[in-house]
Amino acid sequence: MSTQSYVSGSSQPIFNWKKVLKNHGGLVALVVILGFNILVTPNFLQLQTLFVNISQVATIAIVAMGMTLVIATGGIDLSVGAIMALAGAIAPLIFQSEFGQMYPALGVALAIGFPLLVAMACGLFNGVLVSVLKVQPIIATLILFISGRGIAQVLTNGNLQTFKNPNFSYLGTGKILGLPFQGWLAIAIACVLFWIISRTIFGRYVLAIGGNERAATLSGGPVRRVKIAVYIICGALSGLAGLIVVAINSASDAARNGDLMELDAIAAAVVGGALLQGGRAPIFGAILGAVIIQLVKYTLLANGVEDEVALIAKALIIVAAVYIQQARKE
């Protein structure tokens, strides 16, 4: 009960090894990938490698946690990548504006706060479509999936915005105790979300809605509001990830920021143990899933495999994860 890394509707005994293997296939996969890299990939066991991977994995993990919440209610959010692009496009516009130049501190604060608000508004839009207008989540979020990136490109006239702003860049390049700032941020978010899921009434409703929405409604649960809230949280986390990507690169490219992130995030959530029909919200599982996805990417890249081939590998991971899910159900 106390040290479980998964939160779900039911809790299982921890030291049942067969169950651990079946339910924690992700951990096994992680060990295999690490072992492979230590043996094959040159210079894998170096601090530099760790830093590169942490700074990359943080964005996937942050989005994947939001995705996990949405999936836990039985929904899905395809718009996360587009929201990243939108948030990332707005930030430089603010701190590079005349106002932002005049009041640098306030400019940076607004450049972080305002894009997050916009991202939350996007989540609100998704949530209202899904829970009030009863649009299928996959269709509802497809709207911003298409138009969100378009809006971002219109805002920036399709230009790459480059900048030099060390305060803002701290989001993506800062270090605490020698480790990248965004890694700490991801862990902090995970702890908060884990607490929310396991200890609060909101978290209980999230899992109840995914487990049996009808029963949750008939028990007086605020089903609509909870569903809207998870999309808002997912939107906010996507926006944050978009800001981090921009901060890492000291440049905002609306066409590429968050491209295909929806697939990475869904894959990470599923690899981490989320059930697509809802009812489970393994927050730390999502981080584990993100680490696996990132390591696979890195492994292929470091060994000279082309990007296009890496996409195929990612698809195979999703297939494997879904297969394990099926086995888990039986």
Partner 1 sequence: MDAVQKAFNGVVALDGASLDIEKGEVHALIGQNGAGKSTLIKILTGVYHSDGGHVHFDGAESFISSPREAQSAGIATIYQELNLVPLRSVTENIVMGYEPKRMGVFIDWDEAHKRAREILQRFGIDIDVTARLGSFSTAIQQLVAIARAVSLDAKLVIMDEPTSSLDVSEVKVLFGVVRGLRDAGVSVLYVSHFLDELFEICDRVTTMRDGRTVDCRKMKGVTKLDLISGMLGRASSEIAEAGMTEFSGGEAKHGEVLLCAENIATGPRLTKLDITVHRGEIVGLGGLLGSGRTEAARALFGIDALTGGAVSLKGASARLETPAAAIKAGIALLTEDRKAEGIIPDMSVRENLTLALLPKLTRNGQIDRAREREIVQSFIDALGIKTAGMEQPIRELSGGNQQKVLLARWLAVEPELLILDEPTRGVDVGAKREIQAIIRDYVSKGFGVVLISSEFEELVEGADRIVVLNEGRSIKELKNPGITEDILVRALAHTGEEAA
Return the number of the residue (180 or 211) whose C-beta is nearest partner 1: 211
Neighbouring C-alpha atoms within 13 Å toward the C-beta of 286: 34
Return the number of the residue (74 or 127) whose C-beta is nearest partner 1: 74
Told to check if 222 binds partner 1 by CB under 8 A, we report: yes
- Stated as kind and residue range, the H or E segment containing 79 is none
Told to check if 207 binds partner 1 by CB under 8 A, we report: yes
Indicate if the alpha-carbon torsion angle 293, 253, 148, 236 is positive or negative.
positive
Return the number of the residue (215 or 316) whose C-beta is nearest partner 1: 215
Torsions phi, psi for 168 (to 5 deg): -70, -40
Q: How near is the Cβ of 216 to partner 1 at its closest, in Å?
A: 7
Question: Phi/psi class of residue 275: alpha, beta or left (left: φ > 0; alpha: ψ in -120 to 50)?
Answer: beta
d(CA 94, CA 100): 6
Told to check if 215 binds partner 1 by CB under 8 A, we report: yes
Told to check if 200 binds partner 1 by CB under 8 A, we report: yes
Told to check if 218 binds partner 1 by CB under 8 A, we report: yes
Restricted to residues 275-294, the positions that interact with partner 1 (CB under 8 A) are 279-280
What tokens were used for 19? 């169950």
Told to check if 191 binds partner 1 by CB under 8 A, we report: no
Among 158, 188, 199, 309, contact with partner 1 (rule: CB under 8 A): 199
Q: What is the contact mask toward partner 1 in residues 101 to 140, using x (rule: CB under 8 A)?
A: ----------------------------------------
What tokens were used for 243? 């800001």
Write the CB contacts of 53 (distance below 8 Å, at least 6 apart in sequence): 291, 294, 295, 298
CB 269 within 8 A of CB 286: yes
Return the number of the residue (172 or 285) whose C-beta is nearest partner 1: 285
CB 7 within 8 A of CB 286: no
Among 9, 117, 251, 311, contact with partner 1 (rule: CB under 8 A): 9
Question: For partner 1, which stretch binds (CB under 8 A), given 26-34, 59-67, 104-112, 215-223?
Answer: 215-223
CB 315 within 8 A of CB 264: no
Question: For partner 1, which stretch binds (CB under 8 A), given 58-66, 133-141, 213-221, 281-289?
Answer: 213-221
Per-residue CA distances from 224 to 133, 205, 217 (Å): 10, 11, 9
Q: How near is the Cβ of 192 to partner 1 at its closest, in Å?
A: 12
Question: For partner 1, which stretch binds (CB under 8 A), given 138-146, 179-187, 207-215, 256-264?
Answer: 207-215
Told to check if 205 binds partner 1 by CB under 8 A, we report: yes
d(CA 26, CA 270): 10
Among 5, 41, 147, 212, contact with partner 1 (rule: CB under 8 A): 212
Told to check if 22 binds partner 1 by CB under 8 A, we report: no
Told to check if 188 binds partner 1 by CB under 8 A, we report: no
What tokens were used for 124? 């609100």
- The amino acid that residue 134 corresponds to is K
What pairs with residue 175 in β-bridges? 180
d(CA 278, CA 211): 6
What pairs with residue 161 in β-bridges? 252
Among 136, 219, 301, 312, contact with partner 1 (rule: CB under 8 A): 219
Question: Biggest alpha carbon distance in the chain?
Answer: 62
Question: For partner 1, which stretch binds (CB under 8 A), given 69-77, 156-164, 200-208, 242-250?
Answer: 200-208
Return the number of the residue (174 or 222) whose C-beta is nearest partner 1: 222
The residues of the shown chain that bind partner 1, judged by CB under 8 A, are: 1, 8-11, 199-202, 204-205, 207-208, 211-212, 214-222, 279-280
